[in-house]
Amino acid sequence: MSRPLEPPRRWLGAWDEPAFVLTADQDWAPAWASQQLLEVVDAHRLPLHVFRTNPCPVLDRAFAAGRITQGWHPNFLPGSSHGDSPEAVVAYCRMHFPACRTARAHCFMEHTMAWDALAAAGIVADSQLPTYFQDGLVPLLHASGIWRLPVYFEDDIFFRYFPDELGLHHLEATLFGTGLKILNFHPTFIAANVPSLPYYEGIKARWFSGEVALEPMVHPGRGARVVFEELMTLIQAHGLGFQSFEALVDRLPAGRSALTGPSC
């Protein structure tokens, strides 16, 4: 492994204001669930970056029309339908979603060989590290040369820790603090207003069976969609806007060019 020419220094003052960004993980969502996500995002006039797992007419059209930006959501888990090696997974992503420069792995699964393959394929930034609603997040330079943009809020982490209750007061100490504020949601969780992991597990098989009767599966109380609506309204009520994930990536210095070789 070659040494970096110059290790990145602490980004003093660069992230003194909260930088709100909205992303979504496709996760093989039914097309009508992705449509539901697009509708609630459009209602708030927000830029959305979708990490893609598979072709979908709804998301394909949204990307072609400039309604969303997109990156890769590669599945590096054993038995992946994307491929049985990092190179095969990257080839799948390249074939279906060419010219992407960002990635977030399914289930946040990663290893060195996978990240070297992503870097070699032109990925310059990932959003790979889920945090417990941490303040003061800044970009990190991964050893592969890919910039890492940590996630502030992940919907399934939120209802894993606070099932059914889902109170936004759990975020009040950090939501408007400094640093990156990447908020990540899933189309299926939004469309069914999922309140907890047990609820999702109870309807999951029906989601992917081709059944289109949506109403019986939508949680009638407090769930991911309600949290989404409240979060967006709260942030916008504070006079704060969202920037696109691609604009965030544009703020980053060159990463891999600072390295003289692969990570290992």
Mark residue 99 as left, alpha or beta (left: phi above 0; alpha: psi -120 to 50; beta: remaining). left
For 178-251, list the strands marked E by DSSP: 179-185
Is position 71 within any domain?
yes
What does pTM read for this prediction?
A: 0.91
Is position 3 within any domain?
no
Q: With contact defined as beta carbons under 8 Å apart, do 37 and 31 qualify?
A: no
pLDDT above 90 covers a percentage of the chain that reads 77
The number of folded domains in the chain is 1
Q: With contact defined as beta carbons under 8 Å apart, do 102 and 125 qualify?
A: yes
Max Cα–Cα distance, the chain, nearest Å: 58
Residue type, 187: P
Is position 40 within any domain?
yes
CATH number at residue 48: 3.20.20.370
Is position 8 within any domain?
no
Of 10, 249, 67, nearest to 146 by C-alpha is 249
| Structure confidence by residue, pLDDT tens digits, 48-96 | 999 999 999 999 999 999 999 999 999 998 988 998 899 999 999 999 9
Which domain, by its residues, includes 30?
Answer: 18-257
How far CA 259 is from CA of 3, 4, 139, 160, in Å, comes to 7, 5, 17, 38
Is position 252 within any domain?
yes
Is position 5 within any domain?
no
Is position 9 within any domain?
no
Is position 53 within any domain?
yes
| Structure confidence by residue, pLDDT tens digits, 189-229 | 999 999 999 999 888 877 766 655 555 688 999 999 999 99
For Cα atoms 183, 186, 191, give the angle at the middle one, nearest 5 degrees. 120
